[in-house]
C-alpha cells in the first residue's frame, strides 16, 4: 500500500511524490481548461471573427487551454467549396495570432473545424446546425456543451435567437449540457432598445448563460486595477475625496472610422465608447471592495457606482462633442469625417465626446470624473489617471516648486500596459528645486509571459462559465440612463470641429480650465 502524506485540503502526495489530481477548486494557479465543447460563430466571415476571434481561439489552443474535444463551427451566408473555410481560418489565425504560429497546432484545430452555409432565415441551415451539434456528441464528446457567438449586426439578433429557440439549441435541458450565448456591443442604441434586446435574449437563454462581451474588461491592466486597489494597503488611505482632486479616463484613437462608416454614423462616439467602455472603467475605478472576486459580488459593487453617477447641471459647458476635420497626422494629410467614404455630407455625428460626471457616494462626493474619447487624436492610448490634490502647505519658495505639478496615479490600459506614479522630487544641485518624476511599472518588463489578448481571456471565461468580467443587463441599462440625456441634449446641437491630429475641440479644454484644471497629455 502506498503511503499517503497530507499536504493540504483536497490534495495528497504519495511516497514517490506524485500529486493526487484533486485540488482546491479555488486554486487558480493551474490552467483552467473547459470541458469538451463547441463554439458556433455566426458571422464567421466578418472582420471581428477573422481579426480577433479565430486568432484568439488559435492562441488558446497553442497555450494548451482548449479541451481535446473542442470544435469550431462557422455559420455565414457564403457559398464555399470544401476547404475554403478551413483556408480562410488558417490565414486568419496565422496573420492575427499573438503566440508563434505552429502548423502542428493548427492541424489539430483544423480537424475539428466545420462550416454551415446559410442565411439567418434559412430553417434548413439551422436544422443542419442542430443536427451537427448532436453528431458531435458522439464524435467529439461535447456532451451538449455549446457557446453561440453573435458576431453579427444587432438587427440580425432576433432572427438568430428565434432560430435557436425553434431548434431547441438554446435549451440546456434538451441535450444535458450547457448552452451559452455571447452578445457583442452595442447593447441597443438607447434605454428602451436595450431593454427590448435584453428581454429578447432572456426569452431564449437563462440569465446566467448570457455573456455580454466588452473586450476592454478582458484587458490585463483593467483587471490589474482591481489588484492594485484591493491587494495592497498602500493606496486605500488616500483613495477618496479627501486626497483626490479629480479622475480622468481617456480612450484616444489615432485612426479614423476605417470601414465602419455605416455603423459609426448611426452610433457616434458616445454610443460606441462612452456608454460601455468608459462607464465600465469608471465603475471599476470608483467601486468599493467586493466581498469576493466573482461575478455576483463585482456586479453588486459596480451597480452601486453606476446608480450614483450624476450628470452635470450645465450640459452646455460640461458635455462637449466634436467632429474631426481634415488635418495633418503622422506626417500626412488625412481627410475630415465628412470627407470619409459613405458619410453623409451634412452628418452631425460626433467623433469626440467629453463629459464631466459625479459619483455621489461618501468616498467620491465632490470629485469630478472627466471622461473623453475621440478619433483622429494625436496617439492611441487608453488610461485612467487619479489626480491628487496639492499638498496643503509647501515650505518651499514659489520658484522652488514652479515646475511641480499634481501627484498622479496612472493606470495605462493600452498600448504600454502598466502603472505610473508621478510625484515631486528634488533636482540634484545646490538649490532646492522640486520637479515631477515618474516611477513606471511595465507589464512587458516585469513578467516573462506576455499579456494575452482580451478576447483570449473572455472566450475562455465563456467556455468555463465564468461571468466575472462580463457586464449584466442591469449595468447596461444603468449606463444608458447616463448617456440618454446627453444624446437628447446633443441631438439639437452641431459638433464642434477639431483638426485631425489634435486633442479635440477647444471647448473640452475650456471645460477643465473653468475649474483650474487641464487634461493630462498621455
DSSP secondary structure of 91-157: HHHHHH-SSPP-HHHHHHHHTTEEEEE--TT-HHHHHHHHHHHHHHHHHT--TT-EEEEE-S-GGGH
Angle at 492 between CA 488 and CA 498, to 5 degrees: 105
Tell me how far apart the alpha carbons of residues 323 and 500 are, in angstroms, rounded to a whole number: 9
Contact 145, 172 (CB under 8 A): no
Tell me how far apart the alpha carbons of residues 210 and 418 are, in angstroms, rounded to a whole number: 31
Tell me how far apart the alpha carbons of residues 130 and 453 are, in angstroms, rounded to a whole number: 31
Tell me how far apart the alpha carbons of residues 163 and 159 are, in angstroms, rounded to a whole number: 6
| Biggest CA-to-CA distance, the chain | 84
Long-range pairs for 170-174: beta carbons < 8 A, 24 or more residues apart? 170/204, 170/205, 172/206, 172/209, 174/144
Tell me how far apart the alpha carbons of residues 515 and 256 are, in angstroms, rounded to a whole number: 31
Contact 324, 353 (CB under 8 A): no
Residue 376 CB neighbours (<10 A): 29
Angle at 269 between CA 93 and CA 160, to 5 degrees: 55
Q: Which grid cell sits at 169?
A: 439549441
Catalytic residue check, 140 = no
Contact 449, 59 (CB under 8 A): no
Map grid coordinates 483587471 to a residue. 223
Q: Choose the catalytic residue: 277, 346, 393, 473.
A: 277
Q: Which grid cell sits at 13?
A: 502526495
Question: Which residues are catalytic, by number?
Answer: 277
Amino acid at each position: 500500500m502506498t503511503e499517503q502524506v497530507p499536504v493540504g485540503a483536497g490534495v495528497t502526495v504519495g511516497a514517490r511524490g506524485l500529486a493526487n489530481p484533486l485540488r482546491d477548486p479555488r486554486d487558480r494557479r493551474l490552467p483552467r481548461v473547459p470541458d469538451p465543447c463547441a463554439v458556433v460563430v455566426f458571422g464567421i466571415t466578418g472582420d471581428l471573427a477573422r481579426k480577433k476571434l479565430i486568432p484568439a481561439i488559435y492562441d488558446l489552443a497553442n497555450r494548451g487551454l482548449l479541451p481535446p474535444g473542442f470544435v469550431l463551427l462557422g455559420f455565414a451566408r457564403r457559398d464555399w467549396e470544401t476547404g475554403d473555410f478551413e483556408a480562410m481560418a488558417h490565414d486568419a489565425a496565422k496573420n492575427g495570432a499573438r503566440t508563434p504560429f505552429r502548423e502542428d497546432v493548427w492541424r489539430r484545430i483544423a480537424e475539428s473545424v466545420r462550416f454551415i452555409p446559410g442565411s439567418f432565415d434559412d430553417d434548413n441551415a439551422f436544422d443542419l446546425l442542430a443536427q451537427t451539434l448532436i453528431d458531435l456528441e458522439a464524435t467529439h464528446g461535447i456532451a451538449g456543451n455549446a457557446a453561440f457567438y453573435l458576431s453579427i449586426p444587432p438587427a440580425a439578433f432576433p432572427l438568430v435567437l428565434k432560430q435557436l429557440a425553434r431548434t431547441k439549441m438554446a435549451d440546456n435541458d434538451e441535450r444535458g449540457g450547457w448552452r451559452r450565448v455571447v452578445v457583442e456591443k452595442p447593447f441597443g442604441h438607447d434605454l428602451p432598445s436595450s431593454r427590448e434586446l435584453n428581454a429578447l435574449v432572456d426569452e431564449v437563454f437563462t440569465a446566467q448563460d448570457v455573456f455580454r462581451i466588452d473586450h476592454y474588461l478582458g484587458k490585463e491592466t483593467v483587471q490589474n486595477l482591481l489588484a492594485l486597489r484591493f491587494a495592497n494597503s498602500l493606496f486605500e488611505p488616500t483613495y477618496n475625496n479627501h486626497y483626490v482632486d479629480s479622475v480622468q479616463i481617456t480612450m484616444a484613437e489615432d485612426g479614423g472610422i476605417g470601414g465602419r462608416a455605416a455603423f459609426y454614423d448611426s452610433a457616434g462616439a458616445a454610443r460606441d465608447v462612452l456608454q460601455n467602455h468608459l462607464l465600465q472603467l469608471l465603475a471599476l475605478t470608483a467601486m468599493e471592495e467586493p466581498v469576493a472576486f466573482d461575478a455576483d459580488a463585482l456586479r453588486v459593487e459596480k451597480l452601486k457606482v453606476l446608480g450614483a453617477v450624476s450628470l452635470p447641471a450645465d450640459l452646455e459647458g460640461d458635455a462637449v462633442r466634436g467632429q474631426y476635420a481634415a488635418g495633418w497626422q503622422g506626417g500626412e494629410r488625412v481627410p475630415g469625417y465628412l470627407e470619409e467614404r459613405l458619410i453623409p455630407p451634412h452628418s452631425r455625428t460626433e467623433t469626440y465626446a467629453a463629459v464631466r460626471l459625479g459619483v455621489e457616494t461618501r468616498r467620491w462626493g465632490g470629485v469630478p470624473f472627466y471622461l473623453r474619447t475621440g478619433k483622429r487624436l494625436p496617439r492611441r492610448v487608453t488610461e485612467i489617471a487619479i489626480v491628487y490634490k496639492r499638498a496643503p502647505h509647501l515650505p518651499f519658495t514659489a520658484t522652488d516648486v514652479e515646475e511641480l505639478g499634481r501627484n498622479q496615479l496612472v493606470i495605462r490600459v493600452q498600448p504600454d500596459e502598466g502603472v505610473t506614479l508621478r510625484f515631486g522630487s528634488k533636482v540634484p544641485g545646490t538649490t532646492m528645486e522640486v520637479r515631477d518624476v515618474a516611477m513606471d511599472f511595465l507589464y512587458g518588463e516585469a513578467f516573462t509571459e506576455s499579456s494575452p489578448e482580451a478576447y483570449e481571456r473572455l472566450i475562455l471565461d465563456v467556455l468555463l462559465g465564468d461571468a466575472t468580467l462580463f457586464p449584466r443587463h442591469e449595468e447596461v441599462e444603468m449606463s444608458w440612463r447616463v448617456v440618454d440625456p446627453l444624446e437628447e441634449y446633443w441631438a439639437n446641437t452641431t459638433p464642434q470641429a477639431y483638426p485631425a491630429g489634435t486633442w479635440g475641440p477647444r471647448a473640452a479644454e475650456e471645460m477643465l480650465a473653468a475649474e483650474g484644471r487641464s487634461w493630462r497629455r498621455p
